[in-house]
Amino acid sequence: MMTILIDQPEFGVEAGFNKQVDNVEKELVLDGGFMVPQTNSFGHTFRDYHVESERQKGVENFYKTNHINQTYDFVKRMREEYGKLNKVEMSIWECCELLNDVVDESDPDLDEPQIEHLLQTAEAIRRDYPDEDWLHLTGLIHDLGKVLLLPSFGELPQWAVVGDTYPVGCAFDKSIVHHKYFEENPDYHNPVYNTKYGVYSEGCGLNNVMMSWGHDDYMYMVAKENNTTLPSAALFVIRYHSFYALHRLGAYKHLMNEEDVENLKWLEIFNKYDLYSKSKVRIDVEKVKPYYISLIEKYFPAKLRW
């Protein structure tokens, strides 16, 4: 079995806004009945970057590369290439197993395989929202797009797979982590792309906005093009769970439509579980597998094109 190490940069809200997260954590303690754990899997408080300070330089270098290269044209090419869905044919659970040995060494809260995080997220949601089975499944599959790092999917560089996401084709909001590096992005100086609305219009809907390329947008495309019956809120969560500038800092709301506003409520619920379910509560995979297989069969075809 091959072990794949993802040197994933911390999300911007995690990499430089820990005070803000501390405040959010206090607000979330009893929301939905979910008790936010006091410590992560290392016994540290969540998002404590004092103990992770040696990683900060690597994080900054990652975002420099990311911000320079994520242009409107690059995203368009990636969406056209990966939109063909001609890399692999497999089931959702087979994809989960592909990530079984993936460990994100740069995540300060987690040292377990990715599938552990997926199941921790899904099971925490299931406990608090037992009637929303679509949200349980969303928790399981939200990070499956990280397969883009694998050779059979093109082995994309990390700056094109992980990290915060944001719109391209309009001005880069100053709330985005390490914003200064956008000055080296060609779009930053292009009058077609560097205004508040750019190529978009007020209230056009996020579905009409191109996001920086990564695992979020790829998994959204896989689910949508394979005709999943998951509700629009699930697709919204999958596509925007790394869009911290929106759901944590309130940027880009001028591009949202009414459906986005409703779906954002579910994303804000989901993000709490994504962020704070990383603890030493181990999941018995074989015990919960039948339940998630039943959900996969309910919402997805047996085999998907990836």
Tokens of 85: 């869905």
| Phi-psi sector, 155: left (phi>0), alpha (psi -120 to 50), beta | left
Q: What is the DSSP string of 85-143?
A: --S-EE-HHHHHHHTTTEEETT-TT--SBHHHHHHHHHHHHHHH-TT-HHHHHHHHHTT
Among the listed ranges 33-47, 48-62, 287-301, which one has the minimum average pLDDT value? 33-47
| 174 carries a ligand binding annotation | no
Contact at 8 Å (CB) between 148 and 4?
no
Read off the pLDDT of each residue in 54-74 and give the average, rounded to a whole number.
90
Q: If you average pLDDT over residues 223-250, what whole number do you get?
A: 97
Mean pLDDT across 213-225: 98
Q: How far apart are CA 291 and CA 141, in angstroms?
A: 14
H or E element in which residue 221 lies: helix 215-225
Compare 199 and 21 and report the one with higher pLDDT: 199
Q: Is 242 annotated as a binding residue?
A: yes
Does 179 count as an annotated binding residue? no
Q: What is the pLDDT of residue 113?
A: 67
Full residue range of the structural domain in which residue 197 is found: 59-305
Q: What percent of the chain has pLDDT over 70?
A: 76
Q: Give domain status of residue 160, yes or no.
A: yes
> 89 and 303 in contact (C-beta within 8 Å)?
yes
**Integer CA distances (angstroms), 284 to 48, 123, 287, in order:** 28, 11, 5
Q: What is the pLDDT of residues 81-108, one digit of tens each?
A: 999 999 999 999 999 999 876 554 444 4
| Helices and strands of the chain, counted as H and E runs | 12, 4
106 annotated as belonging to a binding site for a ligand = yes
**Residue 50 labeled ligand binder:** no
Contact (Cβ atoms closer than 8 angstroms) between residue 92 and residue 296: yes
pLDDT at 255: 98
Q: How many structural domains is the chain composed of?
A: 1
> Is residue 169's pLDDT more than 90?
yes
pLDDT of residue 54: 62
**104 appears as a binding residue in the annotation:** yes
* Integer Cα distance of 63 and 9 in angstroms: 8
Instruction: Please report whether residue 198 resides in a domain.
Output: yes
Q: Mean pLDDT across the stretch 289-298?
A: 97
Q: Classify residue 255: in a domain, yes or no.
A: yes
Is 111 part of any domain?
Answer: yes
Where does residue 268 rank: exposed (0-12), middle (13-18), buried (19+ CB within 10 A)?
A: middle
User: What distance in Å separates the CA atoms of residue 155 and residue 12, rounded to the nearest whole number?
Assistant: 23
Record the tokens describing residue 27, joined without a space: 């607000």
Query: Does 279 appear as a known binding residue?
Result: no
Q: Enter the tokens of residue 168.
A: 């391209």
φ, ψ for residue 148, nearest 5 deg: -55, -20
Give me the mean pLDDT over the 245-262 stretch: 97
274 is in an annotated binding site: yes
For the record, the structure tokens of 303 come out as 């085999």
Mean pLDDT of 17-30: 37
The token duo for 300 is 């997805």
Cβ atoms 273, 117 nearer than 8 A: no
Predicted confidence (pLDDT) per residue in 75-84, tens digit? 999 999 999 9
pLDDT at 19: 36
196 within some domain? yes
Residues 273 and 11: their CA atoms lie apart, in Å, by: 15
**Annotated binding residue at 164?**
yes
DSSP class of residue 212 equals P
267: alpha, beta or left? (left if phi > 0; alpha if psi -120 to 50): alpha
- The answer to whether position 84 is within a domain reads yes
Residue 268 CA to its chain's centroid (Å): 13
When pLDDT is averaged across residues 191-208 and rounded to a whole number, the result is 98
DSSP state of 25: H
196 labelled as ligand-binding?
no
The pLDDT value recorded for residue 111 is 54
Instruction: Answer yes or no: is 241 a known binding residue.
Output: yes
d(CA 44, CA 51): 8
Q: Is residue 119 part of a domain?
A: yes
Name the range with the highest mean pLDDT among 42-46, 60-64, 221-225.
Answer: 221-225
- DSSP state for residue 198 in the 8-state scheme: T
Mean pLDDT, all residues of the chain:
83
Q: Going by DSSP bridges, is the β-strand pair 89-90/4-6 parallel, antiparallel, or unpaired?
A: unpaired
Q: Residue 53: what pLDDT?
A: 54
Domain assignment of residue 39, yes or no = no
Please tell me whether 175 is known to bind a ligand.
no
Please report which confidence band the pLDDT of residue 23 belongs to, taking 50, 70 and 90 as the band edges. Answer: very low
Percent of the chain with pLDDT over 90: 68
Strands 102-104 and 89-90, how do they pair? unpaired
